[in-house]
Amino acid sequence: MTEALIVNGVVIANGVKDSDGDILTKKDIKTIFMKYQRDTDTMHTNIKNFGVEVFASWISEVDTIIDGKIAPEGSWLATLKVTNEKLIQCINEGKLKGFSLGSVSEKAFTPKYWFINKSLNYRDIKDIEEVIPLFISFVDKPANQYNFEVMTYDAYINKNEKKES
Strand order in the sheet with 98-105: 40-42, 131-139, 98-105
Segment among 96-100, 135-139, 153-157 with least mean pLDDT: 153-157
pLDDT of amino acid 165: 47
pLDDT of amino acid 69: 96
pTM exceeds 0.75:
yes
Q: Is the pLDDT of residue 83 over 70?
A: yes
pLDDT of amino acid 123: 74
CA distance readout (Å), 7 to 19, 82, 87, 125: 22, 8, 11, 30
